[in-house]
Structure 1
Amino acid sequence: MTPAARLAAAIEILDEVVIAARDGGAAADTLIQRYFTTRRYAGSKDRRAVRDLVFAVVRSSGERPHSGRAAVIGHARANDPALLALFGAAGHSPPPLVQGEPAASGGLAPAWLREMLGLRFGGDVGRQLVALLDRAPLDVRVNSLKAARADVAAVHPDWEILPRTAHGLRLPAGTVLEQEPDWQAGHIEVQDAGSQIAAAALAAKPGELVVDLCAGAGGKTLALAADMAANGALHGHLVACDTDRGRLSQLPPRAQRAGAHGIDMRLLDPGQEAAALADLMGKCDAVLIDAPCSGSGTWRRNPESRWRLTRERLARLATTQAQLIQLGTRLLRPGGRIVYVVCSLLPAEGEAQLAATPGLAGWSSRILTPADDGCDGFFIAQSSRL
């Protein structure tokens, strides 16, 4: 593909990304993969170049653009003027530029989200936003059911030990994880350092009754299983719950590979969660609530997600988060521990959810950010049942 053809491909993909962000469609990564599935002529260098350009444009457009073409023109004018010469060039190029045609405005986030983040970060919001839109590193958690971090690190001296985690390593950029023997053997699991810190905050122990109330595909569940291990096996009762069948169905093969046997999986019906967990009410030693959220702390992985969020969707998420905290509290025995986590940095999903909850002691909380902690953005709060 010529540079002009790559630019045309990026514009086509960006058109799909804009529509998907508006209508709740697939993520940008998925759209890029689909695009090239039907275009076998594109080589690996072409695919990489187009993907890099798509994400560079997405990162540079704070507000959702009108179109992929407008997004590219705005990005080119602000960051890469050489791209402008490719419009109307020979070959499979995008049509020539037209006098006065629209161009997307730059920026790091939609104005209303920047304002909300300003409530948290004040004058530091610019630095925090820049880090939130940087490329994310590849972190893994060493699965202590099968291996020790020191042993894995000794085999891979170029893998960085993450000191704020008990089992974390950071891999060099470009590592093809699926080709690593430690991955194939289940010695490591992909998990951002912040996510590892969040799971560890529950301090799950062998022999306990622990509920992962929003398990999703099971990343934190597997971390809890390792924390609850005795003699190399899960010891206790670990319950992984979710209302999303597709995501929860990813846990069994992951658990099998990790050697995390005996996890109790429960698919919950929305609105009927308490009924499905009636046998656990008032009995749990610890409950982790990794609640559905805006994902504003993970923009560096999915930068187009900041185009998807609306005030209405944020309000719906906040309602769900409050309901989950109430449910988690009911599951606890007296003295039991609760950890509420969101991969969000918006106060509406953090401190605003910690209003006095009947039956709980006071909350303690912390914030993790890419700028200050080198991991995804998280709000993590802990409390216990009176």
Structure 2
Amino acid sequence: MTPSARIAAAIDILDSVVDAARGEGAPADRIVAEWARAHRFAGSKDRRAIRELVYDAIRHCGPIPASGRAAMLALAEQRPELAPLFDGSQYGPAVRGEGEPVATPGIAPEWLMAELANSGVDDEEAAALMDRAPLDLRVNTLKADRDTIEWRERGEPLAAPQGLRFASGTMVEQWPAYRDGLVEIQDHGSQLACAAVAARPGETVIDLCAGAGGKTLALAAAMDNSGTLLACDTDKRRLGNLSPRAARAGAGLIETMLLDPGRELEALRPWHARADAVLIDAPCSGTGTWRRKPEAKWRLTPQRLAQFGNVQDRLLDIAASLVRPGGRLVFVTCSLLDAEGSDRFAAFLERNPAWVCERPDLPLGRSRGEGIRLSPARDYTDGFFIARALMPC
């Protein structure tokens, strides 16, 4: 493909990304993958270059652009070498017209930037949300140890006891260690969130919002396959991905429970006041994961943010009913917004004055309210809020 044809392809993909963001459609990575499958004539270098153009344009635009072309024209203003590629050639984009609309550069929409600022996120932290994320691994201690695996490439040891960092794009999935379940791909911040649970062998632990089970597998390793570990979620497809992952990891203690939204307490009644620990990795805006999903900034609205807060409050109350006296509750969101972090945890403590806050002792992060905040700028992790409370005996 010519450089101009790559620009035209990126514009087509961006049009789909913008439409999906407005209509809550597929995420950008899936749209890019679907384009690649439908255009197999494009070589690997072309696909990689087009993907980079798409994500560079998304990161460069603050508010949602009018079109993919407007987004790419904005990127061309930042990168002058792209401007001549709007040349009207056979497979390239049309020449830029006089007065043609160009997307507004920035980190996120103005209202969302204001929410970040009100949450103590300064300009440096906000800008880091648009960086590219590295690839972090967690060594699965059910099968291996960080110091004994023979690595194809040298990784950077992380503060998490079994964490290693590699360059973005490292083809870990092709390594025998990955295929054999010795390692899992997991952001360093996510590993530290699991460490905050302090799960121990023989305990009863509930992962209330397990999704596809990344944190569940980390809890299973911490428990050394001993005890009871219940993974719950309302998404059948995502929860269904856990069983094969658990088999590969050798995590035999995991039980799964598919929950009906709005009727979670009914299904979980047999577990009332039985858990030593409950992890609530609550659904949220995902502002802390923009390095991986930058188009998420275009999907969020004030109304949707309020809805997330309501869900988080309800999940905290459900989790509290499952913890035995002397047990603990850990609340996690991959967000830098107080509205779904420190504010939610403070509201929980106000509703439940008998509970005692116990700030997690983590090697990274800064205090935020009654919890800990991890951020890309200061901790080189995804953004997280992590808090823990104990139920007195």
TM-score normalised per structure 2: 0.94
User: Which amino acid letter does the alignment assign opposite residue 3 of structure 2?
Assistant: P
The C-alpha deviation readout for 1:139-171, integer Å capped at 9, x for no partner, is: 01000000011112x545611110x20110112
Give the match's secondary structure for 1:207: coil
The question of whether the paired residues in 2 share the 8 Å contact of 1:24 and 1:308 is answered with yes
The C-alpha deviation readout for 1:314-359, integer Å capped at 9, x for no partner, is: 1111000000000000101111100000000001001110221324
1:333 aligns with 2:324: yes
1:115 aligns with 2:110: no
TM-score normalised per structure 1: 0.96
Deviation at 1:90, TM superposition (A): 2.4
What does 1:332-371 align with in structure 2 at a 5 Å threshold? 332-354=323-345, 355=347, 356-358=350-352, 359-362=354-357, 364=359, 365-371=371-377
User: Which amino acid letter does the alignment assign opposite residue 124 of structure 2?
Assistant: R
1:158 aligns with 2:154: yes
1:373 paired residue number: 379
Residue of structure 2 aligned with 1:301, choices 292, 314, 321: 292
1:195 aligns with 2:190: yes
1:228 aligns with 2:223: yes
User: Which amino acid letter does the alignment assign opposite residue 170 of structure 1?
Assistant: R
What does 1:1-386 align with in structure 2 at a 5 Å threshold? 1-77=1-77, 79-121=78-120, 125-152=122-149, 155-156=151-152, 158-162=154-158, 164-229=159-224, 234-354=225-345, 355=347, 356-358=350-352, 359-362=354-357, 364=359, 365-386=371-392
% of aligned pairs identical?
A: 51
Deviates more, 1:356-365 or 1:296-305: 356-365
Q: Alpha carbon RMSD of aligned pairs, Å? A: 1.1
Mapped partners of 1:173, 1:102: distance in 2: 33
Mapped partners of 2:82, 2:155: distance in 1: 36
Give the match's secondary structure for 2:20: helix
Mapped partners of 2:320, 2:131: distance in 1: 36
Deviation at 1:97, TM superposition (A): 1.2
The question of whether the paired residues in 2 share the 8 Å contact of 1:344 and 1:377 is answered with yes
Give the match's secondary structure for 2:315: helix
Mapped partners of 1:197, 1:321: distance in 2: 20
5+ long unaligned stretches in structure 1: none
Mapped partners of 1:349, 1:155: distance in 2: 39
2:363 paired residue number: none
The C-alpha deviation readout for 1:50-84, integer Å capped at 9, x for no partner, is: 0000000000001100100111111211x112222
- Cα distance, 1:147–1:43 mapped onto 2, change above 3 Å: same
Give the match's secondary structure for 2:325: strand
Runs of 4+ in 1 over 2 A off after TM superposition: 88-91, 154-157
The question of whether the paired residues in 2 share the 8 Å contact of 1:4 and 1:91 is answered with no
The C-alpha deviation readout for 1:240-293, integer Å capped at 9, x for no partner, is: 000000100000000000000131100000011011111110111000000000
The C-alpha deviation readout for 1:288-318, integer Å capped at 9, x for no partner, is: 0000000000000000000000011111110
User: Which amino acid letter does the alignment assign opposite residue 90 of structure 1?
Assistant: S
Deviation at 1:113, TM superposition (A): 1.1
Mapped partners of 2:12, 2:152: distance in 1: 40
- Cα distance, 1:82–1:172 mapped onto 2, change above 3 Å: closer
Mapped partners of 1:210, 1:141: distance in 2: 20
Say how many residue pairs are matched: 377
Deviates more, 1:93-102 or 1:52-61: 93-102
Deviation at 1:96, TM superposition (A): 1.6
Give the match's secondary structure for 2:10: helix
Mapped partners of 1:94, 1:112: distance in 2: 32
Deviation at 1:363, TM superposition (A): 5.3
Mapped partners of 2:160, 2:169: distance in 1: 22
